[in-house]
Amino acid sequence: MRCPFASTRKAMGRYQLYVALYARAGKSHMKGEEDKYYWAFVVAPKTETNDTCGIRFGVKQVLQRTAEGAAPMPVWVHEQINMQMSRAPMMVGRILIGDVCDVDRLRSILQEVRFRPDIRGWNWVMWMRDAFEELMRQRKVLGRSVKSWAIIQVTAMQYVEEKKAAHRFDGTVGYSMDLTPTWDMLRGVEVTE
């Protein structure tokens, strides 16, 4: 899928940055259980239709051979995936955290955020924190935005857990699975139930 984002020099107010949480299998190791979900950034146009696409930015661990004949070893890689916003498989919630001024610069910054596998327990949630902090240090990448990763992290977890408690994902209540639950932190309102 190709996301035809227009020139980012005129992107102010046209694109938004979300923190998205995805269902995943596996045991949680973080104290607050944040890693029971896969976390990623999503950039999408401010106005969405059924055909709107966005770009997901994250990191994942893959097995790679570091030398010929060597056993595959886990290594971290950056991930950039074009995605359809109306049918985002496994996305359990997204939190609007800011307006994007320059998509190309945002992409470049996220691709340069380093991995820290030397830190015990380092994972995609910690990469998100590091990436967010780097975006906050840079100028003219984001317009109005939430400034605290800690507040974003708590809000995202509370929001998704509230949706889980309301049976949003288990099929016992009739929610549209084509729409992803969305909380707008800039306005303090739920945009999509």
pLDDT in tens, 24-54: 998 999 999 999 999 999 999 998 888 889 9
- Quote the CA–CA distance of 106 and 140 in Å, as a whole number: 10
At residue 46, the pLDDT reads 92
- Domain ranges, ordered by start, for the chain: 8-192
Question: Quick check: pTM over 0.85?
Answer: yes
At residue 28, the pLDDT reads 92
Q: Which backbone phi and psi does 67 adopt, to 5 degrees?
A: -150, 155
Q: Which backbone phi and psi does 48 adopt, to 5 degrees?
A: -110, 145
Give the chain's residues under pLDDT 70: 1-13
